[in-house]
Amino acid sequence: MWRAAVLALVLSAGLAQARCEDHVPGARPQNTPRQDVGQTLDSIVERGWIEIAVYEDFPPYSWQDGSTPKGVDVEVGRIIAESLGVEPRFRFVQSGETLEADLLNYVWKGAAIGGHVSNLMMRVPYNSDFTCRVEQVIFTGQYAGEKVGIAYRIDAYPDAVQKPNADGRHPDAPVPSFFVYDPVGVENDSISDFYLTATFGASAKMTRYKTTGAAMAALNAGEVWAVMGPLSQLEAGAGPGVAVHAPLLPGFQLSHWTLGVAVHQSHRDLGYAVDDAVAAALADGRIAAIFADYGLDFTPPDR
């Protein structure tokens, strides 16, 4: 699952002593067929469109409303395409077991049966050490940050201050230690699941759901008192009577991360153009405005 990708970055960040010190460069593929490396920037501009891979059924980031692509990642993809002067065409893809599998299937090789690579892939977690391990991919265009937050029912925590402090926290709102006693929902095998399990073990009063969206539906229905997960997903799923905050998370190796774009390593000129488009949209506020349009807080990326 895509969520396991962030967990992999958490573990790599904690285990590596220095950047890429334990990495052994792999053999580089030779004479790779054209269909496995995508199109050059010149070819994309000449044909007039660019294929952008986004995750399917993944609100608020990417989903289809009928035949209309929607979501934060879709809108950022449109900004990139507009900067290149081409039409965006979105390819909705499934998340695999690991980030490496997704990058192989959609960016640098293509699935073994009937697969092909896309020109870009959105919502790729960035980690400096991880970039050494996937040499076939250029990690560029960091466009947003994401962090772990907690959504909670106001009626379960009536003393919580609803207006957040400058650091995004709500005084007296639930923090992880509450969940030894209070029921909390998490996405199964997500970083929140692993964090609470590692911190509190069997004492954690967790209910696991297939997705963060399903956990938020349970919260809105009163089945749990809180949900822990990516802040944007919590904000998107919060119904009436639910508040969201981003507390301090002691002992969490990586409670926030940066998201960017993946490009095949053969197309560095495309990677530079993508990064220029994203940098301009960050500077003039267009990306922040996308988050605001979807009712989300914008966390600037580490670039």
- Specify whether 122 is located in the same domain as 175: no
- Specify whether 233 is located in the same domain as 284: no
- Specify whether 30 is located in the same domain as 68: yes
User: 249 near 200, Cβ under 8 Å?
Assistant: no
Give the pLDDT confidence score for residue 29 in this predicted structure. Answer: 52
Whether 252 is in a domain gets the answer no
Is 87 in a helix, a strand, or coil?
Answer: strand
Whether 71 is in a domain gets the answer yes
Give the pLDDT confidence score for residue 256 in this predicted structure. Answer: 86
Domain that holds residue 114: 2-145+257-293
User: Can you give the CATH number for the domain in which 51 is found?
Assistant: 3.40.190.10
Q: CA-based diameter of the chain, in Å?
A: 65
In tens digits, the chain (303 residues) has pLDDT values of 445 555 555 444 444 455 666 666 655 554 455 544 678 999 999 999 999 999 999 999 999 999 999 999 999 999 999 999 999 999 999 988 889 999 999 999 988 787 899 999 999 998 877 888 888 999 999 999 999 999 999 999 998 877 777 766 778 899 999 999 999 999 999 999 999 999 999 999 999 999 999 999 999 999 999 999 999 999 999 999 999 999 988 778 778 899 999 999 999 999 999 999 999 999 999 999 999 999 999 999 988
User: 264 near 138, Cβ under 8 Å?
Assistant: yes
- Specify whether 182 is located in the same domain as 216: yes
User: 187 near 193, Cβ under 8 Å?
Assistant: yes
Give the residues across from 186 on adjacent strands.
208
Nearest to 291 by CA among 277, 65, 82, 282: 282
- Specify whether 19 is located in the same domain as 140: yes
Residue 241 CA, chain-centre distance (Å), reads 26
- Specify whether 7 is located in the same domain as 123: yes
Give the pLDDT confidence score for residue 186 in this predicted structure. Answer: 97
Is 269 in a helix, a strand, or coil?
Answer: helix
Distance from C-alpha of 146 to C-alpha of 259, rounded to nearest angstrom? 7
Whether 198 is in a domain gets the answer yes
Whether 301 is in a domain gets the answer no
- Specify whether 263 is located in the same domain as 127: yes
What is the number of structural domains in the chain? 2
Give the residues across from 153 on adjacent strands.
242
Dihedrals phi, psi of 23, to nearest 5 degrees: -95, 130
Whether 302 is in a domain gets the answer no
- Specify whether 20 is located in the same domain as 60: yes
Residues 6+ apart with CB under 8 A from 103: 121, 124, 134, 136, 137, 262
- Specify whether 133 is located in the same domain as 154: no
- Specify whether 204 is located in the same domain as 100: no
Whether 300 is in a domain gets the answer no
Element (DSSP H or E) covering residue 3: helix 2-15
- Specify whether 67 is located in the same domain as 99: yes
Give the pLDDT confidence score for residue 152 in this predicted structure. Answer: 97
Whether 261 is in a domain gets the answer yes
Predicted TM-score (pTM) of this structure: 0.87
- Specify whether 227 is located in the same domain as 277: no
Give the pLDDT confidence score for residue 171 in this predicted structure. Answer: 80
